[in-house]
Amino acid sequence: KQEVTQIPAALSVPEGENLVLNCSFTDSAIYNLQWFRQDPGKGLTSLLLIQSSQREQTSGRLNASLDKSSGRSTLYIAASQPGDSATYLCAPIPIQGAQKLVFGQGTRLTINP
């Protein structure tokens, strides 16, 4: 059974800092991994989909990496801004039943102006 852990659970930093969010998962039989952000009371917004063959994916100030063998993914946010404040969730995508995503509790990020 897949279990996902995200560390830290909460993070508060001043604007402009570079930061790293961590995601670990117990079952490495995954195909891809997706990162999402969720604003309070809202749905999830897809940030990045990392395919296992890529190991890394970039979108603007975001960079995500995936190491299936160690069961880890990291999301790097460069030059953080107050608009980045949200909860960040990772979801490993299983080889079987691709839509049956398992989420961790997320990292609640606050960027202070």
Partner 1 sequence: KAGVTQTPRYLIKTRGQQVTLSCSPISGHRSVSWYQQTPGQGLQFLFEYFSETQRNKGNFPGRFSGRQFSNSRSEMNVSTLELGDSALYLCASSPSGATIDTQYFGPGTRLTVL
Alpha-carbon 101 to chain mean position: 13
Alpha-carbon 67 to chain mean position: 13
Q: Which is nearer to partner 1, 33 or 111 (CB)?
A: 33
Q: Which is nearer to partner 1, 105 or 112 (CB)?
A: 105
Among positions 66, 77, 89, 109, the unique one binding partner 1 when judged by CB under 8 A: 89
Q: How far is the CB of 15 from partner 1 (least distance, A)?
A: 27
The residues in 48-77 that bind partner 1, with binding defined as CB under 8 A, are 49, 51
Q: Is 100 in the site for partner 1 (CB under 8 A)?
A: yes
Structure letter (DSSP) for residue 95: S
Residue 8 structure tokens: 């830290």
Q: Is the dihedral of CA 1, 70, 23, 59 positive or negative?
A: negative
Q: Which is nearer to partner 1, 83 or 97 (CB)?
A: 97
Among positions 41, 60, 83, 113, the unique one binding partner 1 when judged by CB under 8 A: 41
Q: Is 32 in the site for partner 1 (CB under 8 A)?
A: yes
Q: Is 92 in the site for partner 1 (CB under 8 A)?
A: no
Distances (CA, A) of 94 to 52, 57, 76, 77: 11, 18, 23, 25
Among positions 21, 23, 44, 109, the unique one binding partner 1 when judged by CB under 8 A: 44
Dihedral of the CA atoms 44, 1, 24, 59 (nearest 10)?
Answer: -40
